[in-house]
Amino acid sequence: MRKAAAVAAILALLCLPAALLAAQGKPQTTCPVLAGNIDRNVFVDYKGYRIYFCCAGCDKEFQKDPEKYLKKLQDQGITPEKSPAAPGR
């Protein structure tokens, strides 16, 4: 019985990193508006997350209905990166 519990504990520990990575989701590589490759110089910080876009027009389109585009990212398994903390925080 102890042997089975030890094996189960080891398996649980081995599976933990994979579960944590799955919870984090994939990094954002495409624009949520036009699906082009992102330009890391074009972004909006929204609800603590940094959302990247392919061009300046897409950031403006995002701001019209941000929840729609966040859902689109989530549906693709993408977790946007967190916004950097403001200086002095």
**CA quadruple 55, 59, 65, 68: dihedral sign:** positive
Q: With respect to residue 64, please indicate whether it lies within any of the assigned structural domains.
A: yes
Per-residue confidence (pLDDT) for residue 88, from 0 to 100: 60
Per-residue confidence (pLDDT) for residue 66, from 0 to 100: 98
Q: With respect to residue 14, please indicate whether it lies within any of the assigned structural domains.
A: no
Per-residue confidence (pLDDT) for residue 85, from 0 to 100: 78
Q: With respect to residue 7, please indicate whether it lies within any of the assigned structural domains.
A: no
Q: With respect to residue 34, please indicate whether it lies within any of the assigned structural domains.
A: yes
What is the tally of structural domains in the chain?
1
Per-residue confidence (pLDDT) for residue 7, from 0 to 100: 52
Mean pLDDT of each 10-residue bin along the chain, 89 residues long: 59 45 76 98 96 97 98 96 77
Residue 43 near residue 66 (C-beta atoms within 8 A): no
Token pair 């110089």 in the structure block, residue: 41
Q: With respect to residue 11, please indicate whether it lies within any of the assigned structural domains.
A: no
Q: With respect to residue 3, please indicate whether it lies within any of the assigned structural domains.
A: no
Q: With respect to residue 37, please indicate whether it lies within any of the assigned structural domains.
A: yes
Per-residue confidence (pLDDT) for residue 15, from 0 to 100: 47
Domain with 64, as residue range(s), is: 26-82
